[in-house]
Structure 1
Amino acid sequence: MLIGSIAGPDFESAKRQVARAHTLCDGMELRRDLMDMSESEFSALQALVQIPLIGAELRTIHDFEKTPEDLDAVLEKLMDQPAPIYKIACMANSTLDALRMLLFVREKRGEGIPLAGMCMGPFGAITRILAPVVGSALTFAAIEQETAPGQLSAEELTGRYRFHSLSPKTRLFGLIGHPVSQSPSHETHNAFFQREGIDAVYVKMDVRPEELSAFLPLAKEMGFEGLSVTIPHKEQVVNFVNGSSERAKAINAVNTLHLTSEGVWGENTDAPAALDAVGAVMGKTVLLLGSGGAARAIAYEAVQRGADLLIWNRTYARAEQLAQAVGGRAVKELPKRYDILINATPEGMPISESQLTAGALVMDINLSSTPLLRAAEAIGCRAIDGSAMFKRQALGQFSVWGALPTPLTPYEL
């Protein structure tokens, strides 16, 4: 049940929010404490509501600092008095807190307890999105402004995440990294599921490096089938898989996890995605900037496809280490000429404009246009941003997860 939170503050604003909530939500709460209007105006506002008003019947506990370790004790305290719905709202200080809350709600709803559990703050967003998946009695959404930390809008929940279509049968996928705010994957992947009629949802989860070992068992228990992996986890997560493809083993970096009853399988779809986006590299000089997880994948695949690979990194030792691992050559100084340049660093302009080779193909794995690409175009280079790679690696992930109903091209994502 999705509850629209009406905040006003004035009567006209609140009236507009009520009208919007009627089209998006199953019920409303009128936040009188946030409204600046007369009692007669508030009464008139109440009269406009034509769906259930939620409020007094809830028995609620808030913790604005943390998510308690013992949620059973919190619920026991709530249930010392009978109520139609018990609501626990806590601040999530990690994605682990949010997963614990989701699993707790699913367990208690399975016992027949009318519980609504949610976490506040950015880490808690998944508890609001996945409320129908765990059977939470309700969750709250902003209509025009949030009324609790981290509250999502009703438009986003019902549009991007198809809140009213989610259920315990919905397949779960997500992205893990630290941070994850820069990724558009929640937009592209959910749009793909909606267009293809797939009962699935994709969420972004900020997981700190030190939390990986605790996160994966919780994600598996929650029922996640597949995870995309982004910085800084692509190399570290290798330590937590039960098996991986030959490509992932050779690269020693994983960007795709498939969670099954038999364990966690690792794959790397970055490698073919990047080189497919660039095109033929056989016999060509490829200059790779960077030495992180994505760079490792690109380096491996470039050598496998017959490129003359040069690797440059600000820390030469890291470039040398990667070159030795894949069969390329580390360089301290950038060459004057090359056929293809691939920027696999997070920097928008890791080299100077004078170090660009006119007529070369320049690819930046960052998703938006960067100073590097603009400078490359200005001297006649063919410039490719990271979206070409992103779409290809995403299709590779869907294939690994068994989430592709029919073969698609990257341009259909």
Structure 2
Amino acid sequence: MGSCGTVRSSIMVCVPLMGSSVKEMMSQMGLAKSQGADMVEIRLDYIQKFQPLQDLQMLLRDKPLPVIIVYRPKWEGGQYEGDEQRRLEALKLAMELGADYIDVELKVVSDLMLNPNLNKHSIGKIIVSCHVGDHTPSKEDLSILVAKMHSTGADVIKLVTHASNITDLATIFHLLAHCEVPLIAYSTGDRGLISHLLCPKFGGFLVYGSMGNNSIPGLPTLNSLRQAYKLECLNANTKVFGLISNPVGHSKGPLLHNPAFRHVGYNGIYVPMLVDNLKEFFRIYSSPDIAGFSVGIPYKEAVTGFCDEVHPLAESIGAVNTIIRTPSTGKLVGYNTDCEAAITAMEDALGARRSINGASFTSPLAGKQFVLAGAGGAGRALAFGAKTRGARIIIFDIDYERARSLAHSVSGEAQPYEDIVKFRPEKGGILANATPLGMHPNTDRIPVAEDTLGVYRLVFDSVYNPRKTRLLKEAEAAGAVVVSGVEMFLRQAISQFNLFTDGEAPEEFMREIIWEKF
């Protein structure tokens, strides 16, 4: 699978456990160890009818992993509503019984620290934590807060904010990179995901990963941290590549690019970036550490306006799916790897014979009717690719003016989207779906009338999750050659990888991953 190189991160992966009984907690602890966790965080406030002495002895006596004990009160987002003194006594007891860490809230840490017996029998350490409501404070306010937490004598500081926008996370990264005490810092919510994934690059103390059915918005799974991302391979020099999209959760890019980086020994990480505002995003994330981007729905066209330069093919298409930050100048250069990926996948499926010596090549798409559903970024790439091969293009899009504009650019024809269900194609033509119809989880829809599918010679679907969409299943049953979006995805990713690394993609290795993971 390729190695991390010599400089590895010392980052620990911690799994929060929220079992309702001691028995359940112990079972989860064993599972966490078997799945590769370095540490567990036991939430005492989730245990029903918690008996401090009896339960803590059981939990800590034969613990298979280092343990952080948390007993979170309601006023800090937890479940505990009882007597405050009793709660603090339970934390002290956990320390005495061998907890590696106890987590104490900033508001009450002075009450705990005043206890003269706290550290007498213990080698455990204190994490002082603070959860900052429903927002991310400014860099200045967070620095003041960290200084206040540091002054308590904490061994480790833990700071949790909420990300309403991915741009909020830049403050967290700045904090992690400049803090002089061990720091756990991350943001909650769907937009907070990369605060966990990039934590080792900026020097964080540990990262959280969820396990089993206990999924938490914005928290990566333990499995993804160990398999796809392998955070132990990250260090300060790791180059970051992100997928700019909204939504972004469907993407399989991290499952492909990260193992491929490691396979060739390239120090990079590829992460999903849920972006709401392109202008703000590019203003905030201008660091040379962020070396490039993939671009997904719905930004492939709009993102061209944020590139300093656009490759001629991408410029003619009017859509960019790959951006590289030039190391010497920091300029953003936009490319389109979708176009050739989709068209060559179709040609190869039709048995195209390409010349090796540069002799003329006649595409099997030449002269064929090319029916395109969708005139967005992916649709534009398909239309321009089909035009270069001499196809006759008919475009349907929910935005008729957008379809008309694209048709004009490729000397094609636009028709109203509602007419696609009654459209009768020429026999032997090509159908290409460049809409999200059929994408997981709404997998039951197709863009055209089912009884027309047998008329086409080839049906292509840009959707790659699921691998074989309903459209492709119905088309195959009707006798058409079918090409999955997975093939386009793989080919465009190979070209992207070459641009990202300025090297050669491990094509066979990437194809193996596709077969295994999709």
TM-score (norm 1): 0.91
Q: Which residue of 2 aligns with 1:54?
A: 101
State how far apart, in whole Å, the 2-side matches of 1:160 and 1:408 are. 18
Equivalent residue for 1:44, pick from 58, 66, 69: 58
Q: Which residue of 2 aligns with 1:79?
A: 150
Q: Which residue of 2 aligns with 1:381?
A: 480
Out of 235-244 and 222-231, give the one that drifted further.
Answer: 222-231
Q: 1:294 offset after TM fit, Å?
A: 0.8
Equivalent residue for 2:409, pick from 322, 325, 345: 325
For residues 32-81 of structure 1, the C-alpha deviation after alignment (integer angstroms, 9 at most, x for no partner) is: 11123543132121112254422241111102311112322332332342
Q: 1:363 offset after TM fit, Å?
A: 0.5
Q: 1:193 offset after TM fit, Å?
A: 2.9
Out of 402-411 and 335-344, give the one that drifted further.
Answer: 402-411
**Structure possessing the higher radius of gyration over alpha carbons:** 2
Q: Which residue of 2 aligns with 1:65?
A: 134
Q: Does the alignment pair 1:34 with 2:46?
A: yes
1:89 to 1:140, Cα distance in 2 relative to 1, 3 A: same
**Residue 372 of structure 2 aligns to a residue in which SS?**
strand
How does 1:245-394 map onto structure 2 within 5 Å? Answer: 245-261=311-327, 262=329, 263-279=331-347, 280=363, 281-332=365-416, 334-337=423-426, 338-348=428-438, 349-367=446-464, 368=466, 369-394=468-493
Q: Let me know the Cα RMSD of the aligned residues.
A: 2.3
Q: Which residue of 1 aligns with 2:69?
A: none
State how far apart, in whole Å, the 1-side matches of 2:471 and 2:64 are. 55
1:150 to 1:402, Cα distance in 2 relative to 1, 3 A: closer
For residues 100-150 of structure 1, the C-alpha deviation after alignment (integer angstroms, 9 at most, x for no partner) is: 3123311x23xx233221111221111111111110122233344649653
Out of 259-268 and 310-319, give the one that drifted further.
Answer: 310-319
Q: Which residue of 2 aligns with 1:13?
A: 24
Equivalent residue for 1:119, pick from 172, 183, 187: 187
1:347 to 1:19, Cα distance in 2 relative to 1, 3 A: closer
Q: Which runs of 5+ in 1 are unaligned?
A: none
Report the residue type matching 2:27 in the other structure: R
1:313 to 1:3, Cα distance in 2 relative to 1, 3 A: closer
1:223 to 1:150, Cα distance in 2 relative to 1, 3 A: same
Q: Which residue of 2 aligns with 1:192?
A: 260
State how far apart, in whole Å, the 2-side matches of 1:339 and 1:128 are. 48
Q: 1:91 offset after TM fit, Å?
A: 1.1
Report the residue type matching 1:44 in the other structure: M
State how far apart, in whole Å, the 2-side matches of 1:202 and 1:185 are. 8
State how far apart, in whole Å, the 2-side matches of 1:257 and 1:341 are. 29
Q: Which residue of 2 aligns with 1:226?
A: 292
Out of 331-340 and 258-267, give the one that drifted further.
Answer: 331-340
Count of matched residue positions in the alignment of Structure 1 and Structure 2: 408
Residues 429 and 455 in structure 2, CA contact (< 8 A), matched pair in contact too: no
Q: 1:339 offset after TM fit, Å?
A: 1.6
1:289 to 1:141, Cα distance in 2 relative to 1, 3 A: closer
1:354 to 1:18, Cα distance in 2 relative to 1, 3 A: closer
Q: Which residue of 1 aligns with 2:279?
A: 213
Residues 5 and 147 in structure 1, CA contact (< 8 A), matched pair in contact too: no
State how far apart, in whole Å, the 2-side matches of 1:42 and 1:145 are. 25
Residues 7 and 147 in structure 1, CA contact (< 8 A), matched pair in contact too: no
**Residue 228 of structure 1 aligns to a residue in which SS?**
strand
Out of 70-79 and 125-134, give the one that drifted further.
Answer: 70-79
1:397 to 1:19, Cα distance in 2 relative to 1, 3 A: same
Q: 1:178 offset after TM fit, Å?
A: 0.9
Q: Which residue of 1 aligns with 2:218?
A: 150
1:146 to 1:379, Cα distance in 2 relative to 1, 3 A: closer
Residues 311 and 330 in structure 1, CA contact (< 8 A), matched pair in contact too: yes
**Residue 134 of structure 1 aligns to a residue in which SS?**
coil
Q: Which residue of 2 aligns with 1:101?
A: 172
Q: Which runs of 5+ in 2 are unaligned?
A: 1-11, 67-99, 104-125, 348-362, 439-445, 514-518
Residues 301 and 318 in structure 2, CA contact (< 8 A), matched pair in contact too: yes
Q: 1:296 offset after TM fit, Å?
A: 0.7
1:64 to 1:157, Cα distance in 2 relative to 1, 3 A: farther
Residues 373 and 396 in structure 2, CA contact (< 8 A), matched pair in contact too: yes
Q: 1:268 offset after TM fit, Å?
A: 0.4
Out of 339-348 and 234-243, give the one that drifted further.
Answer: 339-348
1:175 to 1:181, Cα distance in 2 relative to 1, 3 A: same
TM-score (norm 2): 0.73
Identity, % of aligned positions: 31
State how far apart, in whole Å, the 2-side matches of 1:43 and 1:404 are. 55
State how far apart, in whole Å, the 2-side matches of 1:150 and 1:316 are. 37
State how far apart, in whole Å, the 2-side matches of 1:29 and 1:336 are. 60
For residues 227-286 of structure 1, the C-alpha deviation after alignment (integer angstroms, 9 at most, x for no partner) is: 110111111111110111100111111001112342111000111111011103223221
Q: Which residue of 2 aligns with 1:162?
A: 230
State how far apart, in whole Å, the 1-side matches of 2:249 and 2:433 are. 21
Out of 287-296 and 167-176, give the one that drifted further.
Answer: 167-176
1:132 to 1:403, Cα distance in 2 relative to 1, 3 A: farther
1:315 to 1:86, Cα distance in 2 relative to 1, 3 A: closer
Report the residue type matching 2:62 in the other structure: L
